[in-house]
A and B are shown apart, each in its own frame.
Chain A
């Protein structure tokens, strides 16, 4: 079946550094969504990408959807302690809204 893979599983970052997390699907996606889950919390929607090659920015976060609509990335610049959490990508293939979540990238920020 369709799978959404995320790498890396863990990311230790020094405060102020940049990092990128990647999401890859075995099948073409209709769109991809990104969620953030703080420790002990629940996932919160960040952004949705729909078009091939789409790039969206939210302050220090840059999201990209691949040309083939099979991969996506999240790049965070100048990491802050508030960026701590697990970032999930979720891809949609069905005509209905069933999301396939990746396993997430757990981000730890060292001051």
Chain B
């Protein structure tokens, strides 16, 4: 469980504002991921990054943006274009993104847009 931090745990924003969620890991993992979790649903992949300075869209990337300037950090920006941003956001990392990798999750950020 340890090694991945997300802050803050709870975040409130007004509609129309962009907001950036932080994700930091000290596991020396190459791959990092952002998921969105809604009640009664599984985790849906927003973006993923296999290596620094490279990232790919997941299944629900619209309205989100990311950067991967450092190996340890993978911040997610929820833009005003995201139609329904209120959700629980989970960041994860894995060693290399390979086929037998397991993912380690951060504690999550619960975003509420008012």
Contacts from A to B (Cβ < 8 Å): 4, 6, 9, 30-31, 33, 41-45, 48, 50, 88, 90, 92, 94-99, 101-104
Contacts and interface: CB of A to CB of B under 8 A. Distances in A.
Contacts of B101: 97
Contacts of A42: 1, 90, 105-108
Q: Is the interface of B mostly helix, strand, loop or mixed?
A: loop
Contact of A43 (B31, B45, B48, B105): B105
Contacts of B41: 103
The CB with the most chain B CB atoms within 10 A, among A42, A43, A48, A99, is that of A42
Contacts, number: 59
B58 interface: yes
A60 B50 CA distance: 35
Interface in B86-109: 90, 94, 96-108
Contacts of A50: 100
Contact of A97 (B42, B99, B106): B99
B47 to A, nearest CB: 11
B11 to A, nearest CB: 16
Contacts of B81: none
Contacts of A98: 45, 48, 58
B60 interface: no
A42 B5 CA distance: 12
B100 to A, nearest CB: 7
